[in-house]
């Protein structure tokens, strides 16, 4: 009797172990395979990283910036909006002279917020950033900060939903969609991710309401590295980088807004070198 009980217990134990082994992966994926999955668009992404689920960003100053955009939109008289992350927001800082020349005269509203991914831009679009306005043109450059968090398909899905949201909320507004900018000095695996995402969002262009431009080449040197002169940190444009960017799209911006191209900017004044200290007085000679 006792032997039968022991044998039954052993059989149950063996069955339990086999069931656990069946649910456990035979091997762990090596790091190179994870990178391949990232590039190919097969890596699963947690919900909190999803590029298509609108969420506010938990970052000091983010909500204040969002609300300030809402306040400006509520004042009306907006003919152009520029949606993006810090790269767009920096038009209010390093690129302010460029903004004042090309966009301020067109009653432009800067919708860039540092650190934003597509999901944060989606949340803002649903919470006041474009309420009550009917701009002629929306320029969109978003998705760079999704790099390293999302697959190419997820990124392109996020950008696509941003464009679709603008089309739904602003049906009379034309959209100039810009390719996601590269970052990092030298070519990286992330560029392959952006290239794949950009190739997908380029297909959104219908030449009626949605137009697409890829500006990445203007920031690159012949060897494929990003120009330090145009992007000192290899991510955010310098004042000259903002100018080159604005000049590259000016013809299309004017066309889509139905106005004349702005005249070229005067040369950007460089910061003068510090003044040399005054010469020391020559000591008088004793006679």
pLDDT digits (tens, 9 = 90+) for 223-256: 999 999 999 999 999 999 999 999 999 999 999 9
Q: Return the domain boundaries, the chain.
A: 79-257
Average pLDDT over residues 159-187: 98
Segment 141-153, tens digit of pLDDT: 999 999 989 999 9
The pLDDT value given to residue 279: 52
Fold classified for 79-257: Rossmann fold (3.40.50)
For the whole model, what pTM was predicted?
Answer: 0.77
Residue 112 DSSP SS3: strand
Q: What angle do CA 49, 52, 54 make, to 5 degrees?
A: 85
Task: Report how far residue 105's alpha carbon sits from residue 134's, in angstroms, rounded to the nearest whole number.
Answer: 17
Segment 41-78, tens digit of pLDDT: 334 445 446 899 999 999 999 999 999 999 999 999 99
The pLDDT value given to residue 49: 60
Helix, strand, coil shares of the chain, percent, nearest 5, are: 45, 10, 45
Task: Report how far residue 131's alpha carbon sits from residue 109's, in angstroms, rounded to the nearest whole number.
Answer: 13
């Amino acid at each position: 009797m006792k032997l039968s009980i022991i044998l039954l217990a052993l059989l149950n134990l063996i069955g339990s172990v086999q069931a656990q082994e069946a649910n456990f992966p035979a091997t762990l994926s090596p790091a190179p395979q994870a990178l391949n999955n990232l590039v190919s668009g097969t890596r699963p992404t947690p919900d909190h990283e999803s590029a298509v689920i609108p969420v506010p960003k938990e970052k000091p100053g983010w909500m204040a910036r969002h609300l300030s955009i809402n306040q400006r939109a509520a004042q009306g008289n907006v003919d152009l909006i520029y949606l993006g992350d810090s790269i767009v927001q920096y038009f209010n800082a390093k690129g302010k002279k460029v903004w004042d020349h090309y966009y301020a005269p067109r009653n432009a509203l800067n919708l860039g917020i540092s650190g934003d991914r597509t999901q944060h831009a989606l949340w803002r679009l649903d919470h006041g950033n474009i309420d009550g306005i009917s701009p002629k043109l929306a320029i969109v450059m978003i998705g760079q900060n999704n790099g390293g968090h999302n697959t190419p398909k997820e990124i392109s899905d996020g950008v696509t939903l941003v464009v679709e949201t603008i089309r739904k909320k602003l049906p009379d507004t034309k959209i100039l969609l810009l390719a996601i900018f590269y970052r990092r000095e030298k070519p990286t695996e992330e560029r392959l991710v952006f290239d794949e995402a950009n190739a997908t969002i380029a297909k959104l262009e219908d030449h009626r309401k949605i137009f697409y431009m890829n500006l990445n080449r203007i920031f690159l040197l012949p060897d494929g590295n990003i120009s330090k002169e145009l992007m000192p940190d290899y991510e955010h444009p310098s004042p000259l980088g903002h100018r080159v960017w604005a000049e590259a799209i000016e013809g299309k911006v004017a066309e889509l807004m139905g106005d004349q191209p702005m005249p070229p900017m005067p040369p950007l004044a460089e910061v003068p070198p510090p003044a040399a200290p005054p010469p020391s007085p020559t000591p008088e000679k004793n006679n």
